[in-house]
Structure 1
Amino acid sequence: MITKVLMVCLGNICRSPLAEGILQSKVDPEKVFVDSAGTTGYHIGNEPDRRSIAVARKYDLDISKQCCRKFGAQDFTDFDRIYVMDQSNYENVIAQSKNELEKTKVKLLLSEGDSDIVEVPDPYYGGEDGFESVFQMIDHACEAIAAELNTK
């Protein structure tokens, strides 16, 4: 059985595409499917932000073919785990849940692993260095998630 994981941020152009690409690179695609979405529809159909593409490329990951989409209620049915980047994303996703089972699928990404930081900051309005630090945070959390998923 394939475990389906969804990464969610605000616009699905910076953080969640990185999380999708990073986790995909760490798991067996025969066992784990990874996708990403945004809580808003600002960028539907667009590729990720050029700065996310660039920082991913720096680590030999190609996220340029990803296509931004909006999170929807169907995602609770389609995915086993939903990781959100910050508290605002968490509240927006939880607001669409219909029951407790759906709510249990949703976690803050950085709750995985041993980070003292709770939220992945949105690097959109900052400089290039913000994308690097966000990449490192996400990579660390994805290591913990992959370690668990790869043992199933």
Structure 2
Amino acid sequence: MKKVLFVCLGNICRSPMAEAIMRHELSIRHLETSFLVDSAATSHWEVGSKPHRGTQKILSEHGIDCSTIRARQITQQDFLDSDIIIGMDKNNIKDLLAIAPNETKDKIHLFMSAVPEKETLEVPDPYYTGDFEETYRLVSEGVNEWLRLLF
């Protein structure tokens, strides 16, 4: 079983959205036993919080459940246990590389790096932009490409 960890700043918008969408896609494809999917934050600000109401709303509109997800901060053990760690933007990547044990830095990837012709794009933080639709579109596209790459 591969462990995939999505990471953003607060773990209330983008990374829980990616976690929920990937779990949903794995369920549709009957592959939920192939992956352990989780999400975390680089910060401690939102630890214990549910996903942002905008994230909950957009996921609910698409029939995707996120009710069990709670924000948490990434741990050193996450770096060791995860097979792949996917940061939603370049600041997340920079923060992850700064705290990752040296032997785990090759596990860290930019989320959109899996999407052909969009490899350097970042997923904008809807906490600041307010555009949960755009985030959902990018995250859905990225999740499908990561699933293609991981199989």
Number of the residue aligned with 1:146: 147
Q: Deviations over 1:111-139 (max 9, x none)?
A: 01224351001110233xx1011011010
Measure the CA separation in 2 of the matches of 1:79 and 1:39.
Answer: 15
Deviation, structure 1 residue 24: 1.1
Shifted more, 7-16 versus 55-64: the winner is: 55-64
Q: Does 1:126 align with 2:125?
A: no
Task: Name the residue aligned to 1:15.
Answer: 14
- Residue 64 of structure 1: how far off its partner (Å): 2.4
Which residue in the other structure is 1:54 paired with? 57
Segments of 4+ in structure 1 off by > 4 A?
Answer: none
Q: C-alpha displacement at 1:97, in angstroms?
A: 1.7
Conserved? CA contact 2:114–2:149, under 8 Å: no
- Separation in structure 2 between the aligned mates of residue 7 and residue 126 of structure 1, nearest angstrom: 20
The aligned counterpart of 1:108 is: 110
- Amino acid across the alignment from 1:110: M
Which consecutive unaligned segments of at least 5 residues does structure 1 have? none
Does the Cα contact within 8 Å between 2:115 and 2:141 map onto a contact in 1?
yes
Counting aligned pairs with the same residue, the percent is 36
Instruction: Extract unaligned runs of 5+ from structure 2.
Output: none
**Greater helix proportion:** 2
Amino acid at match of 1:15: R
CA RMSD of aligned residues (A): 1.2
Normalising by structure 2, report the TM-score. 0.92
Which amino acid is 2:18 matched to? A
